[in-house]
Amino acid sequence: MKTLTIVLTDGPYISEYAEIAYKLADAALKKYNVNIFLYLDGVHIPKKGQNPSVFTNAGQLFSRLAEKGVVIRACARCAGARGYTPEKDIINGSNCKDYFPGIKITSIYELSEMLSKSDRVVSLSR
């Protein structure tokens, strides 16, 4: 099966990219293994406890993708800069207590690995 990697740099709600990435990834799962790399402000997307009054909860959307097998990783430097800390223990597939299950903070070298092993790459950024 081919692999698709999506790179996101926007946080949730400031643009539609998180929701677009969700729809792309969900549709692509029929034909692709899907990776999502969260970079820069993109690391805010999987934060637990979001309560957008008028928008779809982006964190929950990404949590659903992780449940379906999408590999979602967040850049460690970007996450640290924004207050998300990786823990040693992995609980429910995540190494960050502030993140939804299945979504991990990782080294940016994983971006390189994801890109080099991908057949298609989509970057969504303003």
Partner 1 sequence: MKSVFYLLDTAPYGSEKAFGILNAATVCLNEMSVTVGLYGDGVYLAAAGQDSKKLGVPNLSDILYAYGELRVLVHEPSLVERNLFGENLIETLELTDEENFFEAMESSDCVVLL
**Footprint of partner 1 (CB under 8 A):** 7, 9, 39-40, 77-78, 108-109, 111-113, 115-121, 123, 125
Q: How far is the CB of 47 from partner 1 (least distance, A)?
A: 18
Rounded to 10 degrees, the C-alpha dihedral 15/17/23/24 comes to: 160
**Among the listed residues 112, 100, 36, the one whose alpha carbon sits nearest the alpha carbon of residue 74:** 36
Minimum CB separation of residue 60 from partner 1 in Å reads 26
Q: Which of 94/118 has CB closer to partner 1?
A: 118
Which H or E run includes 121?
A: strand 120-124
Minimum distance from residue 102 beta carbon to partner 1 (Å): 23
Q: How far is CA 6 from the centre of its chain?
A: 9
Q: Shortest gap between Cβ of 113 and partner 1 (angstroms)?
A: 7
Nearer to partner 1, 9 or 63 (CB): 9
Query: Vertex 42, ends 68 and 104: CA angle to 5°?
Result: 50
Tell me whether residue 7 or residue 66 sits nearer to partner 1 (CB atom).
Answer: 7
**Residue bearing tokens 């934060």:** 47
